[in-house]
Amino acid sequence: MQILAIETSCDETSVALVEGRGGLKNPRFKVLKNIVSSQIEVHRPFGGVVPMLAKREHLHNLPKIWKALAKQKPTFDAIAVTVGPGLPPALWAGIEFAKDLAKKLKKPLIGANHMEGHLYSTWLSLKPKQKIAFPAVALVVSGGHTILLAMQSLTKWKKLGETRDDAAGEAFDKVARLIGLPYPGGPEIEKLAKKGNPKAVNFPRPMLREKNYDFSFSGLKTAVLYHVRDNPKTSKKDLAASFQQAVLDVLVGKTTRAAGDYKAKTILLSGGVSANKALRAALEKAAAARGRKFSVPDFEFNTDNAAMIAAAAYIQKLRKKKLRFAAQPNLNL
Ligand code: KG4
Ligand code: ZN
């Protein structure tokens, strides 16, 4: 089945055309188009995403992207759109556009969960013969969420833990702002961290030793704030490297422990923060040390994109699950 998917939950307007095949035991995807129009430049002066500006940009971008795509006469069986979680004005822009298009083209609509999109984005990058072995442990790290799952199968999972305050990506963004780097902070911190010493400052590793799978990053952000105030001479490179190392230690430490406790054959990593090469390398190494497989989507599918929404919609369709067709800002896994 071919799906036209639309993603507008935050600051990327994205439209994708994806072919989904196979059943729940082995779904396969072919990404035919994955167009992402980033609004970073629009939000940068504000240091973060402004919801009404995001909506305005989505309303402007969607018809433009669709017009360009329509010229290529795409064929598809259904239209999928993110219904949550996300910023309500941004979500509504996509939902209304999808509704109008579905009516005009007489196609069925599928409402999709953005977090399932991140979770299933790994399947977009599988090699032809590659199959994810279960049980698996999945770490989903984005700007809004930090979630650890124990997966028995593609569709059966238990949420082991999540963040109690800031998400990992949010911590990257806030610390970046604190040391004078532009939005979004994740890629900026990663760039600087490459040139710094990760051992320069021994920042706290929040909740690493606690016997649960929850995370907390707001104290770490405050620790950076106090360090900057009291040690103005520490270089930005060292701050970035030391902060990044603290986040990585916690993410990798907790995920590795969960993988052991749940006898995971595979560790999955996804969400915007999975674009971080140091995190990918550290988790891959930790997985390999215990003979576990490691899977992360190609870079194209880490940050928000509509191809992953098509994957979530396809799997949802196979499960015969239906989501309410309205913006659901707090939808979760
Ligand atoms: O998944 P995503 O595109 O949007 C949400 O669903 O939130 O994730 C965006 C987040 C931002 O906080 C951004 O700073 C972070 O992912 N991010 C990174 C990197 N690239 C993006 N964090 C660390 N290192 C990166 N290379
Ligand atoms: Zn996202």
Q: Is 172 in the pocket of ligand 1 (CB under 6 A)?
A: yes
Q: Is 304 in the pocket of ligand 1 (CB under 6 A)?
A: yes
The mean pLDDT of the chain is 97
Render pLDDT for 66-103 as a digit per residue (tens, 0 to 9): 999 999 999 999 999 999 999 999 999 999 999 999 99
Q: Is 185 in the pocket of ligand 1 (CB under 6 A)?
A: yes
Question: Ligand 2: distance of its center to the CA of 171 in Å?
Answer: 15
The full DSSP string for 117-132 is HHHHHHHHT--TT---
Q: Interhelix angle for 236-261 vs 218-230, to 10°?
A: 160
Q: What is the pLDDT of residue 85?
A: 98
Among protein residues, the one with the nearest Cα to ligand 1's atom 3 is: 303
Q: What are phi and psi of 242, to 5 degrees?
A: -70, -40
Is pLDDT of 47 > 90?
A: no
Is pLDDT of 313 > 90?
A: yes
Q: What is the pLDDT of residue 133?
A: 98
Render pLDDT for 236-260 as a digit per residue (tens, 0 to 9): 999 999 999 999 999 999 999 999 9
Burial label, 263 (beta-carbon count in 10 A; 0-12, 13-18, 19+)? exposed
CA 286 to chain centre: 21
Largest CA distance in the chain: 63
Render pLDDT for 11-42 as a digit per residue (tens, 0 to 9): 999 999 999 999 999 999 999 999 999 999 99
Render pLDDT for 92-150 as a digit per residue (tens, 0 to 9): 999 999 999 999 999 999 999 999 999 999 999 999 999 999 999 999 999 999 999 99
Q: Is 150 in the pocket of ligand 1 (CB under 6 A)?
A: no
- The domains found in the chain, sorted by start residue, are 2-120+301-319 (3.30.420.40), 134-264 (3.30.420.40)
Q: What percent of the chain has pLDDT over 90?
A: 98
Is pLDDT of 288 > 90?
A: yes
For the CA of 270, the nearest ligand: 1
Bridging pattern class, strands 2-7 and 12-21: antiparallel
Q: What is the pLDDT of residue 27?
A: 97
Q: What is the tally of helices (H) and strands (E) in the chain?
A: 10, 10
Is pLDDT of 166 > 90?
A: yes
Cα 146 from Cα 86, distance rounded (Å): 14
* Reported pTM: 0.97
Cα 40 from Cα 21, distance rounded (Å): 34
Q: What is the pLDDT of residue 216?
A: 97
Burial label, 139 (beta-carbon count in 10 A; 0-12, 13-18, 19+)? buried
The full DSSP string for 159-213 is EEEEBSSS-HHHHHHHHHHHTTPPSSHHHHHHHHHTTS-TTSS----TTTTSSSS
Q: Is 253 in the pocket of ligand 1 (CB under 6 A)?
A: no
Among protein residues, the one with the nearest Cα to ligand 1's atom 16 is: 272
Burial label, 38 (beta-carbon count in 10 A; 0-12, 13-18, 19+)? middle
Sign of CA dihedral 76, 79, 80, 81: positive
